[in-house]
Chain A
Amino acid sequence: MEQLTILLIVIPLMVAPITALIPSEKVTWLLTLIVCLISLGISCYILYEVIDGSHVIYELGGWRPPWGIEYKIDSLNAFVALIVSAIGCLSCLFAYRSVPDEIEEKMIPLFYAAFQLCLLGLLGIALTGDIFNLFVFLEISSLSSYALISMGKNRKALTAAFSYLILGTIGATFFLIGVGFLFAASGSLNTADIANRFDTFKDMQLVETALIFMIMGIALKAAIFPLHSWLPNAYSQAPSTVGIFLSATATKVSIYVLLRILFDLYPIDYWVDMLLPQIMLSLGCVAVIYGSYRAWQQTEMKRLLAFSSVAQIGYIVIGFSLVNQLGLTAAILHLFNHALIKSTLFIGAGIILYRTNTTELGNLRGLGKDMPWTFAAITLAGLSLIGVPGTVGFVTKWYLLEAAVEKGMWIVVITIVLGSALAIGYVWKIVENLYFRSKRKVRIQDVPSGDSAIAKTPRTMSSALWIGALLCIFFGLNTELSFEAASSAAAAMLKQ
C-alpha cells in the first residue's frame, strides 16, 4: 500500500525517457495514456484509503523523517493527485488526433516525454511532505511546461514560453529563498516537523520573511492577481493538449502549495495576525472582477478562457482567505470543479481549432449549426462556468456565498454575484457568435486528398469533450463524492 504512493512518481519518471526514444507516434501516445490511467487508478485507490482522515506514510529510501524525505498522504494530497491524473487522462485522450495535427512528427515522442515529466512534477508536488523536494518537483513541472508551451504553432508561443520561463523561475527562486529562511530558523525541511516545532522559533524575524517570500513565489506560479501576466499568453499560444492540461492543473497545484504553506506549515493565527487574509481577500475580489471583465473584452476563444481562469483563481483565493470551514471547502472543491470546467472548455476550443484552424470568435459565426454536439457540450461547460444550478460551478459558488454570509462579508457576496454576471457576459459572447449570428463562410482546414476524417470531429476528441461535459453535470448533481473529499481535507487543515 505505501509503495503505491511512490509508484505515482516512479512510473512516469521511468517511462518518460523510454517514450522519448520510441520513434512511433501511436506507441508513444499509448504509453502516455497507460501512464495516465495507472496514475488515475492509484490516486483513486489512495483517496479511497485516506478519505476517512487517516494517513498513508512513505519514507523515501527508508530514512526516518525529518532527515529523510517523507510522503505523508492525507485526503488533500490524494484529492489533488486525483485531479492531476484525471485531467492527464482527459487531455491524453484528446491528444490522439490533435498532437499529430499540431506538432511535427519527429517532435511527437519528445512532446509526450515532456508531457509525462510535467505530470510527474505535478503529482510530486501533490504528494511530497518535504519543502525542498517540493521545489524540485515544481521546477520539473515548470521546465517541462515551458518546453511544451513553446511547441505551439504560432511563433508567439515562443515569446509566451520565454516570459513564462523568466517569471516562473523568479517565482520558484523566491520560493527557494523562503525555504532557505525557514530552514535557517528551524533547521528542518519536513513540513510536519516544522509545524510541530513552530513555537520554538516563531519569534524570529526570519520566519515572517520566509512566509512572505514563499507566498510571493507561489502566487506568481498560481497566477494570483496581480501576478497573472504570463498566464493568458502561455495558455492561449500553447498547443491545444497542453492548454487543456496546464489550465486545469498547473495553477491548481500551485494553489494547493499555497494552502499547505498557510494552513499546515504555519499556524493559522500567525498569518491572520499579519493581515494576510484581508490582503488576499481583496486581491481575490479584484481578480474576479478584473479577470471576468478582461475575458469579456477578448475576441479570441482561448484568450477569453485564459482570462476567465484568472477570475476563477480569484474565487479560490476568496474561498481560503475567508478562513472558515465552508470557505476552505469551497476553495478545495473549486480546485476540482474549475479543473473540470476549464479543461472541457479548452477541449472544445481545441476541437474548433482542429477543424476550422481558427479560434477567433468573429470567424466562428454560425458554426454552432454545423457542429451541434460540440457546441452543446461547450455550452454546458459554459453554464457551469457561470454557476447555473445543476452544474459543478453552482456548487462551489453556493458554498462560497454561504461562507461569505457566515463571515458577514457583504462586499465578497457582491463581488461573487458581479463576477457571475460578467461570466454570463463572456459565455454569452461565445454562444451568441456560435448560434445567433448569421453564418459566415468558415475556412475549414485543407483536407488531404482521399481523407474525409478531418471533415468531422474525431471520436477521441468528442468523447473527451463529452466526458468532461457530463462530469460537469454529474458532479453538479451528485455533490456528495467531491464534497466529502473537500470537506474532510478542509477539516484536517483547520484542525477541527
Chain B
Amino acid sequence: MIEYIIGHINYWLIVAIMMVGLYTLMSRSNLIKKLAGLSMFQTAVILFYVSLGKVTGGTVPIISEKYSLYSNPLPQVLMLTAIVVGVATTALGFALVIRIKEAYNSVEENEISAMDEKE
C-alpha cells in the first residue's frame, strides 16, 4: 500500500493541484482568482500527460545504437498544443475581465450578478 502511494507520488500531487484549482474556481467570487484556478486546473492536466510519457530508465527519443529504451515523446507534443490552448483561454478570459471591469466597475461576481438582477 505504502509502495503504491509512493510509486504514484506524481499522480497524487497532480490530483492535489487539480483539486486546488477546481476549488479556487468554484469558491472565489473574484473573476481574476477564478481564472487563476482555471489555469491551475489546466496545468495539472498538462503535468498528468507529461507524467504519462515518462518511461523509467528511458532516454530522450533520438534513435541511437547505445540506447534501446526511450520515453514516449507523444504526450509532450500533445501538451505543447494544450499549453497554447491554455494560454489563449487565459488571455481571452483576462480580456473579458477587463471589459467587465469597464462595464460594471467591479470584478466581484456577487456584485456583478446583483447589478444584473437590478436591471
Chain A interface (Cβ < 8 Å from any Cβ of B): 132, 135-136, 139, 143, 146-147, 150, 155-156, 158-159, 161-162, 165-166, 169-170, 172-173, 176-177, 180, 183-184
Contact = CB atoms under 8 A, between A and B. Distances in A.
The 4 tightest CB contacts between A and B, nearest first, are A155-B103, A139-B85, A162-B96, A158-B100
A441 B112 CA distance: 33
A157 to B, nearest CB: 9
* A132, A143, A172, A173, most chain B CB atoms within 10 A: A173
A158 B31 CA distance: 12
B9 to A, nearest CB: 17
Contact of B89 (A135, A143, A161): A143
B100 A156 contact: no
B25 to A, nearest CB: 7
Given A139-B89, A180-B48, A183-B52, A169 B97 contact: no
B88 interface: yes
A162 B48 CA distance: 26
A483 B119 CA distance: 46
Nearest to A154: B119
A11 to B, nearest CB: 22
Contact of A166 (B25, B85, B103, B113): B25
B70 interface: no
26 contacts: A132-B81, A135-B82, A136-B85, A139-B85, A139-B88, A143-B89, A147-B92, A150-B99, A155-B100, A156-B119, A158-B100, A159-B113, A159-B116, A162-B96, A162-B97, A165-B92, A166-B38, A170-B22, A170-B41, A172-B85, A177-B45, A177-B48, A180-B48, A180-B49, A180-B52, A184-B52
Contacts of B82: 135, 176
Nearest to A132: B78
A135 B25 CA distance: 22
A194 to B, nearest CB: 14
B114 to A, nearest CB: 12
Given A143-B88, A146-B96, A169 B75 contact: no
A173 B42 contact: yes
Interface in B36-72: 38, 41-42, 45, 48-49, 52
Q: Main secondary structure on chain B at its contact with chain A?
A: helix
A306 to B, nearest CB: 16
B81 A173 contact: no
Interface in B88-118: 88-89, 92-93, 96-97, 99-100, 103-104, 112-113, 116
A170 B92 contact: no
Contacts of B85: 136, 139, 143, 172
Contact of B96 (A165, A173, A184): A165
Contacts of A135: 82
A169 B38 contact: yes
Contact of B99 (A158, A173, A184): A158
A136 B7 CA distance: 32
Contacts of A170: 22, 25, 38, 41
A176 B119 CA distance: 38
Contacts of A173: 41-42, 45
Given A139-B89, A143-B92, 6 more contacts: A146-B96, A150-B99, A162-B93, A170-B38, A177-B48, A184-B52
Given A177-B45, A180-B52, A169 B96 contact: no
B112 to A, nearest CB: 6
Contacts of B34: 166
Contacts of A155: 100, 103-104
B93 A136 contact: no
A379 B51 CA distance: 56
B38 to A, nearest CB: 6
Contacts of A184: 52
Nearest to B81: A136
B51 to A, nearest CB: 10
* B45, B81, B92, B96, most chain A CB atoms within 10 A: B96
A218 to B, nearest CB: 16
Nearest to B109: A159
Contacts of A177: 45, 48
Contact of B45 (A143, A156, A162, A176): A176
Contacts of B99: 150, 158
Nearest to B115: A155
A459 to B, nearest CB: 34
Contacts of B113: 159
Given A136-B81, A162-B97, A166-B34, A146 B92 contact: yes
Contacts of A158: 96, 99-100, 103
